[in-house]
Amino acid sequence: MNLIKLVYVCSPLRGDIERNISRTKGYCRFATTLGVIPLAPHVIFTQFLDDKISEERQLGRQMGLELLKHCSELYVFGDRVSDGMLGEIEAAERLGIPIQYYSDRCERRGVSHEQ
């Protein structure tokens, strides 16, 4: 398999953090089957930043948005869009990054922007 595109994985974190991280790992596995390299900053950064500490949450969000600039697409997973996800979606729109929407069962729901 030739992995050529870096794709930002956007999904909920807050609430049941452990469950949401587990689900995001599944979304990343699914994205890999599509031939892309998934990047889920909220899974990576929660390994060393505490999302419950406001300053650390903000730092994680800033770092994630910086990584988004290097991605070819944004994949949005789940049946709800959190505030953090909304910020990522809006940033992708500003940057002209195509967005694909998937249900929490990885069923494609549509595309917001195509290049």
Domain with residue 53: its CATH number is 3.40.50.450
Could you tell me the residue range of the domain that residue 72 belongs to?
Answer: 5-111
Residue type, 114: E
Q: What is the pLDDT of residue 2?
A: 67
Of 92, 57, 50, residue with least CA distance to 74: 92
How many CB atoms lie under 10 A from the CB of residue 66?
11
- Overall average pLDDT of the 29-52 stretch: 95
73 sits in which H/E element: strand 73-77
Could you tell me which residues are beta bridge partners of residue 102?
A: 77, 108
pLDDT confidence bin for 4, thresholds 50/70/90: confident
Q: Quick: pLDDT tens for 59-111.
A: 999 999 999 999 999 999 998 899 999 999 999 999 999 999 999 999 998 77
More confident residue, 73 or 17: 73
What letters, b where the CB count within 10 A reaches 16 and e where it falls short, cover 75-110?
bbbbeeebebbeebbebbeeeebbbbbbeeeeeeee
Q: pTM of the full predicted structure?
A: 0.90
The span from the CA of 100 to the CA of 112, in Å, is 6
The pLDDT of residue 24: 96
- Mean pLDDT in the chain? 92
pLDDT exceeds cutoff 70 at 115: no
Which percentage of the chain shows pLDDT scores above 90?
82
Cα distance between residue 94 and residue 108, in whole Å? 23
Domain count, the chain: 1
